[in-house]
Chain A
Amino acid sequence: MNNHVLKVEGLKKHFPVRRGFFEKVIGWVKAVDGVDFEIAEGKTLGLVGESGCGKSTVGRLILKLLDPDGGTIHYKGKDISALSRKDLKELRKEMQIIFQDPFGSLNPRMTIGRTIEEGLRTLGIKDRDERNTRVQELLERVGISGASADRYPHEFSGGQRQRIGIARALSVEPHLLICDEPVSALDVSIQAQIINLLKELQQNLGLSYLFISHDLNVVGYLSDTVAVMYLGHIMEYAPSEKLFDHPLHPYTLALLSSVPGRDKPKGLETRELRGDVPTPFNPPPGCKFQGRCPLAEERCRQGEIEFYRVSRQHRVRCWKVI
C-alpha cells in the first residue's frame, strides 16, 4: 500500500475565538479535530458532510493555505506539514484547487487567459508565445474555445467559468486536485458536464481527486472511497460501494435516508435528522454526533469515541454498530 499520493494523519485545525478589548482567547472552534485518510494514485476520495463540518478547511490545510495545528500530511511519502517557503513553491505545482463559486473564483478584472497564465509563470515558462499556446491548449482541453482567452469572466456562464477554473488548476500540471464543491453551485445539466469532464481528465492525466461535496449522489458517482465528516471528525470511512450499500454509522444512515429518490438502506427505518448542526465552539465531550443521534447513550457522552476498523478498508467512529 505504498501508492498513496496523500496520507493525512490526525490532522487538526483549531481557530481561536477572541472577545473583548484585549482580544482574549475565550475558546476554540475545532474545525478539524483529528482527521485521517489517504488518497491512492489516480483515485478519488469523496469527503461528505453538512455545511460547517470542516470539509473545506481540510482542503485548505492540505494545500497549505492554512497551517495545521496538529497531525501530519504526507504527499508522495514526504512530510509537507512543516515546509519552508521555497519547498512550498514546488508543492504548488503538485496540487491545485477548484472552487465552489464560479463567480468568485475568477478575478473580474483579468482576462481568463491572464488568469490561467499565472500558473504557467509558476511553472517558470518565460517565453510569452509559449505561454499563450499553452493557455489555448488548456482552454481547449476543458472545452472552451482557445480564441476566447482575451475575454473577461463576466462574459461566460457559470459552467464555462467552472471550466476555466479547472483549466487554471491544470495549468501547473498537478497530480492532486482538491475539488471544493465544484458542482454545488451549478444547474443539474451543467453539473453532469463538469463531472464528466473531471472523470475524463482523471483518466487522461492520471489525476487524484479529493472531492469535497455535500451531495451524496455526486460523491457516490465519482468517488472510489468516501469519508463522512461531522463537526471536524470523520465518522465513517469506506470504499464507495460499501458505504452506500452497508452504511454503519447512524449519521451516514441519516444522510443516506435524507437523499430524495434514493433507495433507503435495507432494514432501517427512515431516520430524519432533527435540528441543526451544533456549533463547533466548545463542544461537549464524547461523540460529536451525540446531540442528534437516535442511538445515543450514556457511554457516548464520555470520552472520545475510537475509530473502529470494521474491515480492512471500512472504519467507523461508533461503538454501537460493531
Chain B
Amino acid sequence: MTKFQPHSESSSEAPPAPRRTQGQEFWRLFKKNRLALAGLAIFLIFFIIAVAGLSVTSGTRPYFDPALVRLPEKLRPPLSRPNLEVLIPGEMPPLGMYVFGTDDLGRDVFSRMLQGAWVSLTVGFVAVGIAVFVGILLGGIAGYYGQTSITINHIFLFCLMLGGASAFAFGSLFPGVILLIAAIAFLYRSARSGKPAKPSLALAWLQKGATSVDTLIMRFVDIMLCFPSFFLILTVVALLPASIYNIMIVIGLTSWMGTTRFVRAEFLSLREQDFVTAAKALGVGDRRIIFRHMIPNAVAPVLVSATIGIAGAILTEAGLSFLGFGVPPPYATWGNILSDGKRFIFDAPWLTFIPGFAILIVVLSFNLFGEGLRDILNPKLRERY
C-alpha cells in the first residue's frame, strides 16, 4: 500500500487549454465549410430582400405595387422598357423598366416576387417554429417522463372530459355540463387521495397501467407519419378557409414528427448522463434539469432538422400555391406566380423560370446551410485539430 506517494507540488496539473469559447470554435469550423457559408450568405440576402420587399410592397400606396394591373402591357419580357404612351404616370414601374417582365395582367413580376419572398420566409419560419415547438414539447415529455404509466383511470378521465367538452361545443349544454362536473369531481377525488391507499378490489383495475406516456406519444408519431403529408395538407386546406395563417399552421402541424423523434432520442440518452444524475443528486428541480441541462444539449440536431425543414416548408407552400390550394389571390407567392405562368410557358417562359429559380436557390441554400450545421455540430464528423 505504498503506491500513492503524497505529492508535493500544488495540484493544478497543466495549464488549461487555450481559451476558445464554443461560439468561436463553431465559427472557425463554419468558415472552413464553403458550401455552408454560401448557403448562409444566400439566406442572409434572401432575408434582407424579403424584409425590404415587405416594406416596399405593402401599404396603401406601395412603391412597388404588386397588384397594379396594366392590361396594355401584358406579357412584356424582362428588362423591357414600359410603353410610355399607354401608361398614366402612376402606373410607371419604379425602376423605369420591368426587371422581371410582366404577367398576363400586366402586373410587374419583380414586385410580385418581392411580395412572395416575404410570404415564403414567414411560411418557412412560422411553420417550422410550430413544428419545433410541438416537437420539443412532445419529444421532451416522451423522453423525460416517458416511463410514467397511464392508468385506466387517466383514460377514463380523458374520455369524460372530451365527451363533456364536445357535447358542450355541439350545443347540448345539459349533458355536457353533467359530464364536465363528473370529470372534475373525479379529478378532485384522485388528487385528494394522493397516494392511492389500497383501492377496493372492485376499483383496483382502474389503477392498472394501460400503457406508458412514451408509447402513447411515439405511436401517435407513427400514425402521423403514415399519412403522405402533402395529401394530408391538401385535405385539411380544402376544409379550412384558405389564408396564409392556415397554411402556416397546417404545414407546421404536419411536420413536427421528425423533431419529436430527435428530441426524444436525445433526452433518452441525456437522461442517463452523469451530469444529469449529479444535478438530481444536488436536488436540482425537474424544470431546471430540463431547461438548463437537457435542452441546451439537445438543440443541435433539432437546429439542423429545423433548417432543412424551412426549405421543406417553403417548397410545400409553393407546391400548394401551384395547385391552387395555397395562399389566396391578392397575395402573390412564388408558387402562384409559377402556377399563373404555366399557361404561358412558351410565350412568356420568364413567368415560370424566375419563381422556379428563386425557389430552387433559396431551398438549396437552406439545405446546404443545414447540412453544414450538421457536420459542424457532430463531433464525430469534426476533424481533429
Contact = CB atoms under 8 A, between A and B. Distances in A.
B275 interface: yes
A163 B11 contact: yes
Interface string B258-277: 00000000000000011101
B343 interface: no
Contact of B284 (A101, A118, A145): A118
Contact of A190 (B13, B16, B297): B13
A145 B11 CA distance: 10
B282 A171 contact: yes
B275 A195 contact: no
Contacts of B277: 60, 65, 97, 99
Nearest to A143: B11
A118 B296 contact: no
Given A104-B273, A151-B16, A192-B5, A96 B281 contact: yes
B1 interface: yes
Contact of B13 (A97, A148, A160): A160
B198 interface: no
Contacts of B6: 196
B282 A192 contact: no
Interface residues of B, number: 33
A265 B10 CA distance: 37
A149 to B, nearest CB: 12
B12 interface: yes
A205 interface: no
A220 B1 CA distance: 7
Contacts of B292: 107, 110
A195 B16 contact: no
A165 B296 contact: no
Contacts of A92: 281-283
Contacts of B16: 148, 151, 155-156, 160
B83 interface: no
B7 A105 contact: no
A133 interface: no
Interface in B234-284: 273-275, 277-284
A118 B280 contact: no
B4 interface: yes
Contact of A152 (B7, B22, B275): B22
B384 interface: no
B3 interface: yes
Contacts of A89: 283
B4 A221 contact: yes
A109 interface: yes
B281 A157 contact: no
A203 B337 CA distance: 79
Contacts of B11: 142-144, 163, 193, 197
A101 B282 contact: no
Contacts of B278: 97, 99, 105, 165, 168-169
B22 A104 contact: no
B3 A221 contact: yes
B296 to A, nearest CB: 4
A100 B11 CA distance: 19
A196 B8 CA distance: 11
B3 A217 contact: yes
Contacts of B296: 107, 109-110
B297 A107 contact: yes
B60 interface: no
A104 B279 CA distance: 12
B282 A122 contact: yes
B281 A65 contact: yes
Nearest to A156: B16
A109 B25 CA distance: 13
27 contacts: A60-B277, A65-B277, A89-B283, A97-B277, A104-B275, A105-B275, A107-B292, A107-B297, A110-B293, A118-B279, A118-B284, A143-B11, A152-B22, A154-B17, A155-B20, A157-B14, A159-B13, A160-B16, A168-B278, A168-B282, A169-B278, A172-B282, A192-B7, A193-B13, A196-B7, A197-B11, A220-B1
Given A107-B293, A145-B12, A196-B4, 7 more contacts: A97-B281, A109-B22, A109-B297, A160-B14, A165-B278, A168-B278, A220-B1
The 5 nearest A-B residue pairs measured at CB: A143-B11, A92-B283, A105-B274, A109-B296, A122-B283
